[in-house]
Amino acid sequence: MRLYDTLTRSDRDLRPIDGSTFRFYCCGPTVYGPAHIGNFRTFVLQDVLRRTLEAGGMRTLHVRNITDVDDKTIRGCHQAGQSLAEFTAGWTARFHADCAQFGCLAPHIEPRAVEHIPQQIAMIEALVAKGHAYAAADGSVYFRISSFPGYGRLSRLDARELDLGKTQNARANADEYEKDSISDFVLWKARRAEDGENFWRAPWGDGRPGWHLECSAMIQEYLGDTFDLHSGGVDLVFPHHENEIAQSQCACGGHFAAHWFHITHLLVDGGKMSKSLGNLYTLDDLVGRGFSAMEIRYVLLGSHYRKPLNFTLDSLSGAREALAKLAKAARQLATRIEGSPRLDAVEFGPFQAAWDSLQNDLNTPGALGGIFTGLREAATLSGDAAAKALAGLNRLLRALGLTLPEAGASDDSAVPADIRALAEERWQLRLARNWAQSDELRAALAARGWVVKDAKDCYTLAPAEP
């Protein structure tokens, strides 16, 4: 498949460097509150990329971190009166439950920043030893951007902007900073009173790692110095990903990411989401208004990932109708299959154009359009041709991560699609013997009024007793 690459500004083929497994990294959530649907635009599109590669027969290795130490998580745990570990564990569980409802596959490896402090310290030591980093008087350590000629390539900072940063000899200590301050950035933050108990020992004094460093250190640990693809929302291009490239290439050598996949921001009601405007939606907010995670996922797929997507509540109603229509057409197609046809060839039949759209820069709106066009053609098919078409449709739906509502799903007695998806995700975790996460999802189901009972090789779902 072909995908646009932010670094070279061109569409490029995705092929695993090692010839067998496509190894990729996604910057994960900062766990200081619930993720909003903008965050989920990014996580859902990353999930569709992985699912599409897998549906095309490629093996993947998906690494996504949990940012559980930074300015925001430390501030949050103090406000909540909890330890950092307790505070971030709660929000991590919530994130996992939300992901499962959205039908996002769990990454193969999900490293947490606080569990990789020694690796981060080792990376700073390497950078200091090679002259790319220096300690300041207060015990903080900074990356010297003038020591890395490649700085600014990803985000196309021009020479004037870079010169300004160097001549001002500026330094940024906050975990996030704006594009107009191009400066040496912090690798190790000296301990401050407001950090409380949250500090670690290091050769430069007590402190904690800067935000940018954690991804570089965890990538080195799990993917090495050269890997297939790196991804996040567009806001991460600068400074976060620019800084990751600088740290990793200077400390480890290697090429770092062969491909950069950035998702454009979700807008709500035509603008940025904000608490003060009352339009910062989480999954729970929208479920509370009667919508399901699958309907939100459908809306998130309705716009190409490189274009802004304007989210409205009306678009969710449209998604509900579209999913119901799709489900009905798929059921009708199934009734026209006779016997048990042989499905040896991997074909998409009337859905070929939809699959081609996904292969062409992950064009999800093109794929959804192609599915509806394909369904009109499929309505004329029967027997083996209908069976092949249905298999192609199901493969596409798996690539998009869409679960269709069942007939009568709106009856009170039926299990809602998002609850079913959550239970299914839990069952997969159980099969993988991931007891901790599977228990988290059992609790999430219970919180939403559903009891899950496990048998030897299946499970049942029932509404909780009132």
Decide: is 93 part of the binding site for Zn ion (CB under 5 A): no
Decide: is 235 part of the binding site for ligand AMP (CB under 6 A): yes
Decide: is 232 part of the binding site for ligand AMP (CB under 6 A): yes
Give the one entry of ligand AMP, Zn ion, none that residue 349 binds, where binding means its C-beta sits below a cut-off of 5 to 8 angstroms depending on kind: none
Look up residue 47 and give its amino acid.
D
Q: Which of 1, 3, 172, 266 binds ligand AMP (CB under 6 A)?
A: 266
Query: Based on CB atoms, which residue is closest to ligand AMP, 174 or 324?
Result: 174
CB within 8 Å of 342: residues ≥ 6 apart: 384
Residue 57 CB, nearest approach to ligand AMP (Å)? 27
Stretch that binds ligand AMP, among 75-83, 173-181, 228-236, 286-294 (CB under 6 A): 228-236
Q: Which residues pair with 453 in a beta bridge?
A: 460
Cβ count within 10 A of residue 377: 13
Residue-by-residue DSSP string for 322-376: HHHHHHHHHHHHHHT--S-----S---GGGHHHHHHHHBT--HHHHHHHHHHHHH
- Residue 154 is given by DSSP the state T
Backbone angles phi, psi at 173, to 5 degrees: -105, -20
Q: Which of 1, 25, 39, 44 binds ligand AMP (CB under 6 A)?
A: 39
- Residue 109 is given by DSSP the state B
Give the one entry of ligand AMP, Zn ion, none that residue 266 binds, where binding means its C-beta sits below a cut-off of 5 to 8 angstroms depending on kind: ligand AMP
Q: Which residue's CB comes closest to Zn ion? A: 215
Q: Which of 16, 38, 209, 370 binds ligand AMP (CB under 6 A)?
A: 38
Residue 153 CB, nearest approach to Zn ion (Å)? 17
Decide: is 52 part of the binding site for ligand AMP (CB under 6 A): no
Q: Rounded CA gap, 257 and 228, in Å?
A: 6
Look up residue 409 and give its amino acid.
A
Q: Which of 6, 42, 65, 198 binds ligand AMP (CB under 6 A)?
A: 42
Decide: is 27 part of the binding site for Zn ion (CB under 5 A): yes
Decide: is 192 part of the binding site for ligand AMP (CB under 6 A): no
Q: Which of 7, 14, 27, 74 binds ligand AMP (CB under 6 A)?
A: 27
Q: How far is CA 417 from CA 17, 287, 369, 391, 412, in A?
A: 38, 12, 22, 20, 12
Total binding residues for Zn ion by CB under 5 A? 2
Give the one entry of ligand AMP, Zn ion, none that residue 107 binds, where binding means its C-beta sits below a cut-off of 5 to 8 angstroms depending on kind: none
Is residue 3 within 8 Å of residue 208, measured between CB atoms?
no
Q: Which residue's CB comes closest to ligand AMP? A: 233
Closest listed residue to residue 203, CA positions, set 146, 272, 246, 141: 141
Q: Rounded CA gap, 113 and 115, in Å?
A: 5
Decide: is 69 part of the binding site for Zn ion (CB under 5 A): no
Residue 27 CB, nearest approach to ligand AMP (Å)? 5
Give the one entry of Zn ion, ligand AMP, none that residue 215 binds, where binding means its C-beta sits below a cut-off of 5 to 8 angstroms depending on kind: Zn ion
Q: Rounded CA gap, 100 and 212, in Å?
A: 27
Q: Footprint of ligand AMP on this chain (CB under 6 A)?
A: 27, 29-30, 38-39, 41-42, 232-233, 235-236, 263, 265-266
Q: Footprint of Zn ion on this chain (CB under 5 A)?
A: 27, 215
